[in-house]
Structure formats: C-alpha cells, structure tokens
Amino acid sequence: MTTRANPLLLLHTWGGDAATWEPALRHLGAGGRHLKALDLPGHGARAAEPFTVDGAVGTALSASAGGSEDAVGYEDVVGSQDVGGPEDALRPVDVVGSGLGALVALALAQRHPDRVRSLTLVGFPPAGGAEAARRPADTRAALNRDGAALFARNYVDSTLLSADPAHRDLLRRSMAGTRPEVLIDSLRATLGWTAHARPGPVGLPCQVLRGARDHRVPAAAADALAERLGGGSAVVPGAGHVAYLDEPEAFAAALAAFHDGLRTAPAD
C-alpha cells in the first residue's frame, strides 16, 4: 500500500505572494501531493490588510488545519485532479518558508508544533549588522524616490538569478502590488526575527535550505542556524536568494530528498 505524503504548506518570500510558487508547483506536486501556497496578510489577494507576524502565523495555522485563508492550491494553478482528499487536512504539514515566509514558518512550528511534521527554511537567516539596521530606512527612501514599480524591478534584477522572464515577472508584479507600509513592516519583522521566533532547537525534523549563489545569506550563517535549530542544511545548485523561483526543479528535488528521508527513517 502506498502512503500519501503529508500536505505541503508553502509560505512566500518578502514582497511575494502565493502565485510566485507557480513555477515550482508542478515539481512539488509530483505524485498528487496536496499543496497549499498562501497569500500572507498584506500580500496578493490580501493586499489591503496590515502585516503582522501574529496575523501571518494565524493564516498559516488555519491553512494547516484545512482552512481556506485565500490559499492557492496546486489544482488552481496546473489543473491536477489528484491533490489529496479531506483526510489530508487532519495530517500535520511539511511547512516550507522562504525569506519572510521562513520567519512565519519557524514561528508556526514553535507555537503550534502539533500542526507541523517538518520545517524547511529557505534564504534565511537575514543578515545582521549596521547595513541590515539601515535597510528599512533605505528601502523606504527608495520606495519614495522610485515608486513601487521601479523599486520592484530593481529589487528583482538585483536578487533573482532565473533567466526566465516569467519567473521574474511573478515577483515584480507581486512586489509592485504590495503597499509600501507592508513592505517596510514585513522587512522589519524579518530582520528582527528573533523577537518573534527562538533561535533554538525546534524539536522536529528541520533543514535550512540555501541557494548555492545566494549573496544575501552566507553559507556559514545558514549552517549555524541549522545547528542551532537541531536540523541539517542543504544547498540548491545554481539558485540565488529566492531558490524556488531561480531553480524550481532543483528546489523541489532538494525538498523531496529531505521529505523522502523522513518517510523512510526507522521508527524509534
């Protein structure tokens, strides 16, 4: 008898939305896996809402328990007819978060461990120091000077490595449609992540996943966080900071290797 994989909950990067997962969904949903990619508060279809970490964790918690919360599912994007039945809503999720989504994923796992089977943090932790401390003010100044559309274009051009213009357009559109105050509030939350989530053992299987060419998160920082959380680390070849958009197939393969290991590990 084949055991269906646990549902996969996907939390987008800073300035992104659920639709930015579209290039990766075909690979992540192989075998009919039940997927949910969410718009966090203030993003995508929820652009009119304010962003708070508590609100974002509540959104993820509702989705993990089968709530809709403006989720975009695999079937909505690529027409799969086999994405899991109602029983999947009762199973703990494998949660994956990138950047801002990684903060929300970590907070969800620490506050509601009964709803999370495993945790994957991507493009995390954010850089610290004086440059990071200046980043919210610098971001606000750039938004005021350039406007949302040009700011989004400049950010994507300096961050994404994917040569596929459709991948770049997904993040540009979502970021340009995100209100400046949401970008600033969510950026502050991500940079100040230790105020919302503890950098200590999570007590469940976890990995820190980093694009091999990520210039925003040093390899040493990702490895150190993995050790502090009690998990492992892995690399997505060829990818940068937003690995799920840069190299969606390689990203899905790295996740599959981690999750397959959980299903085949011997019981204690």
- Percent of all residues in the chain with a pLDDT value above 70, rounded to a whole number: 88
Using DSSP, state whether 232 is helix, strand or coil. strand
- State how far the Cα of 33 lies from the Cα of 8, in Å rounded to an integer: 8
| pLDDT over threshold 50, residue 101 | yes
Domains, in order of start, for the chain: 8-262 (3.40.50.1820)
- State how far the Cα of 52 lies from the Cα of 43, in Å rounded to an integer: 12
Helix (H) or strand (E) holding 19: none
Q: Which residues pair with 118 in a beta bridge?
A: 94
Q: What is the pLDDT of residues 223-250, one digit of tens each?
A: 999 999 999 999 999 999 999 999 999 9
DSSP for residue 98: E
Indicate the pTM of the whole model.
0.91
**Is residue 268 very low, low, confident or very high in pLDDT (cuts 50, 70, 90)?**
very low
- State how far the Cα of 18 lies from the Cα of 37, in Å rounded to an integer: 5
69 contacts 62 by C-beta, under 8 angstroms: yes
Q: What is the gyration radius of the CA atoms in the chain, in angstroms? A: 17
The confidence score (pLDDT) of residue 88 equals: 54
Q: What is the pLDDT of residues 120-144, one digit of tens each?
A: 999 999 998 888 899 999 999 999 9
Q: What is the pLDDT of residues 44-96, one digit of tens each?
A: 999 999 999 999 999 999 999 875 544 544 434 443 333 444 555 568 999 99
